[in-house]
Amino acid sequence: MTISKVIIESKGEEFFHTVPIYVNKQNEAFDIIQHTHDFVEICYVSEGKGFHYFNDDIIPISKGDLFIIPIGASHVFRPYSADQRQPLIVYNCLFQLEPIIKFSEAYPIDDFLEQAVQYVLQPAPETCLHFREQGSELSSLFNKLYQEFYHRESGFPLMRFTLLLQLLVQLDRYRHAAQAAKAYPFPELDQAIRYIDEHFHTSLTLEQISALCGRSSRQFTRLFKEQTGQTFVEYVQNLRMNKSCELLRTTNKKINEIAYLVGYHDLKFFHSMFKKKIGLTPRQYRIKDKKEAPCSIL
């Protein structure tokens, strides 16, 4: 015998009274029933871990996960454990789609809102958009939304709406970043750049960095130039020159000592490279008025 799953329907009229945006902070439990709704819901996991039941899928979740639940989809969150010392706490932002659409039509500053409505807020009911927080921006936005909802200080309807727009902007940026990552032909480049940035003062070689990325020197050179607009040698030289400028401005170290600290053991070559990149000798740069803007050639 097949046991049918109980799913209830939530209506916006239960939540929206004066402002079509509702925010709560839910301590999820096993007795909450899977449900659908006639509004859009954005859910952010602020604490704990558990599972998100979306339609017929089960998705493991933890702090920092965010889901956009489209109209017509069914879902519910379940904690990992019944132990109350391990709570699963989720922020929920419920809102009607129509005001967002009207705003995007009235203020067509760019095509962001139109795209957000099309790709972020109106996916098919079987589609669950899932984002992972990359810093603390989502936590901050949801906390502000929650405070605005419950404190209801002067201007709270406008504050709720503007915070919701900020949230949509951030999610659309996440979407673009995810699309770019899929199309990114050289995912090892970030690791290579971090290594170069941290070791530019050492005797870096093209062969060394290419091997770090698991690429041939020829392939690395081509891909590095495509992604950064600079050759490997130009990138390292520019890093060294920028650091030289910083040391000349902010320390009393001797010029030959600065050359050594940024990776040059040939003082004559350092002077030649500095003059070529900056347009001044190191000594001329140092005696300039320090109120002028610092050099930056990256």
Tell me, what's the pLDDT at 214? 84
Phi, psi of 28 (to 5 degrees): -70, 145
Q: What is the pLDDT of residue 296?
A: 47
The per-residue pLDDT for range 145-199, each reduced to its tens digit, is: 999 999 989 999 999 999 998 998 888 888 777 776 665 666 788 888 889 999 9
Lowest mean pLDDT among 29-33, 181-185, 256-260: 181-185
Q: What is the pLDDT of residue 3?
A: 41
φ and ψ at residue 104, rounded to 5 degrees: -65, -30
Q: Which amino acid is at 11?
A: K
Range with the lowest mean pLDDT among 11-20, 117-126, 220-229, 281-290?
A: 117-126
Q: Where are the domains of the chain?
A: 8-183, 189-286
Question: What is residue 56's predicted lDDT score, i.e. its pLDDT?
Answer: 86
| Beta-carbon-side half-sphere exposure of residue 165 (alpha carbons within 13 Å) | 15
Q: How confident is the model at residue 1 (pLDDT cuts 50, 70, 90)?
A: very low
Measure the CA–CA gap between 11 and 115, rounded to whole angstroms: 26
Cα separation, 157 vs 139, in Å, equals 20
| Closest CA relative to residue 161, chosen from 102, 91, 118 | 102
Is 234 or 116 the better-scoring residue by pLDDT? 234
pTM over 0.75: no
The strand order across the sheet containing 49-54 reads 8-10, 35-37, 75-79, 49-54, 57-62
224 vs 107, which has greater pLDDT? Answer: 224
- What kind of fold does domain 8-183 have according to CATH? Jelly Rolls (2.60.120)
Rounded mean pLDDT of 106-119?
Answer: 62
Q: At 242, which amino acid appears?
A: N
What's residue 127's pLDDT?
A: 77
Digit-coded pLDDT (tens) for 41-75: 999 999 999 999 998 888 999 999 999 998 888 99
Query: What is the CATH superfamily name and number for domain 189-286?
Result: Homeodomain-like (1.10.10.60)
The reported pLDDT for the residue numbered 180 is 67
One-letter-per-residue 3-state SS of the chain = CCCCCCCEEECHHHCCCCCCEEEEEEECCCCCCCEEECCEEEEEEEECEEEEEECCEEEEEECCEEEEECCCCCEEEEECCCCCCCCCEEEEEEECHHHHHHHHHHCCCCCHHHHHHHHHHCCCCCCCEEEECCCCHHHHHHHHHHHHHHHCCCCHHHHHHHHHHHHHHHHHHHHHHHHHHHHCCCCCHHHHHHHHHHHCCCCCCHHHHHHHHCCCHHHHHHHHHHHHCCCHHHHHHHHHHHHHHHHHHHCCCCHHHHHHHCCCCCHHHHHHHHHHHHCCCHHHHHCCCCCCCCCCCC
Q: What are the structure tokens assigned to 193, written together?
A: 């750049």
Would you say 170 and 136 are in contact if contact means Cβ atoms under 8 Å apart? no
> What is the pLDDT of the chain when averaged over all its residues?
84
